């Protein structure tokens, strides 16, 4: 897109100046001046940047948006519009995390937030041997469903995920209980009692439904557990994990970790 006559030859000077703020190791003022004062050197320096050179996803988003303003000022709306169309194609091809809105604003999507929450939960589990063992058991049980999607296997997965939530909740400050139902009453992160009751009720379901955590009450089961129950409960239970962690960073999940 930068090979047309409508694009000024010094556009990479301004683009690299903006990109330099995103680099893990930022150039000194002298180095930056040396690069942006030379059109060819700016182009080559810009092209040489790799993903390992970038400081964070969040800062890269800012660059993509600022680049649109730079291109619009220097090359005009037509080239800026082409840039946006190419950016949309790139985001749609390689990422579920963002949607490009006019004029050039990258907004996190719901699938992207869910995906980031799952990755963040996995990373958090790796910081503690007990949590990691429980999370690995949950993941292994989930993989085993590929070969056996019986109600017994589904119950095992739900049980393993509840175990993970219990371990996270038990690690919160001020919590002394080890069972999720009691943990719900001890953690202080709830914005409303209805949310606390919701997770407590889900724990009650896991304890009362036959074969999940205990023998349960067969008369309480309205029907056999199905795949749709697994999908619904996996998403809902994962959604409660921000309340069960002292050091949860919602901004990192929404925008990406800013290193």
Residues 66-122: tens digit of each pLDDT: 999 999 999 999 999 999 999 999 999 987 799 999 999 999 999 999 999 999 999
What's the CA gap between 184 and 82, in Å, rounded?
51
What's the CA gap between 34 and 45, in Å, rounded?
11
Phi-psi sector, 174: left (phi>0), alpha (psi -120 to 50), beta: left
CB 253 within 8 A of CB 181: no
pLDDT band, residue 3 (cuts 50/70/90): low
Output Rg (C-alpha) for the chain, integer angstroms: 25
pLDDT at position 1: 55
Domain ranges of the chain: 11-108, 113-255
Q: Is the pLDDT of residue 6 over 80?
A: no
CB 61 within 8 A of CB 98: yes
Percent pLDDT > 70 in the chain is 97
Q: What is the dihedral of CA 181, 182, 185, 189, to 10 degrees?
A: -80
Q: Is the pLDDT of residue 156 over 70?
A: yes
pLDDT band, residue 17 (cuts 50/70/90): very high
Total Cβ atoms within 10 A of residue 148 = 10
> Average model confidence (pLDDT) for the chain?
94
Q: Across residues 192-200, what is the average pLDDT?
A: 97
pLDDT at position 65: 97
Q: Is the pLDDT of residue 257 over 80?
A: no
Q: Across residues 161-178, what is the average pLDDT?
A: 96
User: Cα–chain-centroid distance for residue 155?
Assistant: 27
What's the CA gap between 41 and 34, in Å, rounded?
9
pLDDT at position 95: 76
CB 13 within 8 A of CB 39: yes
Q: Across residues 47-55, what is the average pLDDT?
A: 94
Q: Is the pLDDT of residue 9 over 90?
A: no
């Amino acid at each position: 897109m930068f090979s047309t006559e409508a694009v000024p030859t010094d556009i990479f000077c301004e683009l690299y100046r903006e990109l330099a703020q995103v680099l893990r190791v930022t150039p000194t003022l002298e180095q930056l001046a040396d690069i942006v004062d030379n059109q060819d050197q700016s182009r080559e320096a810009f092209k040489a940047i790799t993903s390992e050179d970038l400081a964070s996803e969040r800062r890269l988003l800012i660059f993509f948006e600022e680049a649109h303003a730079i291109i619009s000022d220097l090359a005009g709306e037509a080239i800026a519009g082409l840039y946006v169309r190419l950016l949309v194609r790139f985001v749609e091809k390689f990422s579920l995390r963002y949607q490009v809105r006019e004029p050039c604003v990258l907004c996190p999507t719901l699938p992207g937030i869910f995906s980031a929450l799952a990755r963040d939960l996995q990373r958090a589990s790796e910081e503690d041997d007990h949590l990691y063992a429980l999370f690995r058991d949950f993941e292994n049980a989930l993989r085993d469903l590929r070969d056996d999607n019986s109600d017994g296997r589904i119950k095992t997965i739900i049980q393993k995920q509840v175990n993970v939530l219990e371990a996270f909740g038990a690690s919160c400050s001020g919590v002394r209980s080890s069972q999720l139902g009691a943990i719900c009453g001890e953690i202080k992160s709830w914005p409303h009692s209805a949310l606390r009751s919701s997770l407590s009720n889900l724990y009650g379901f896991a304890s009362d439904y036959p074969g999940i955590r205990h023998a349960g009450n067969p008369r309480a089961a309205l029907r056999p557990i199905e795949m749709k129950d697994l999908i619904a409960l996996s998403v809902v239970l994962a959604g409660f994990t921000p309340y069960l962690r002292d050091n949860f960073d919602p901004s990192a999940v929404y925008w990406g970790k800013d290193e």
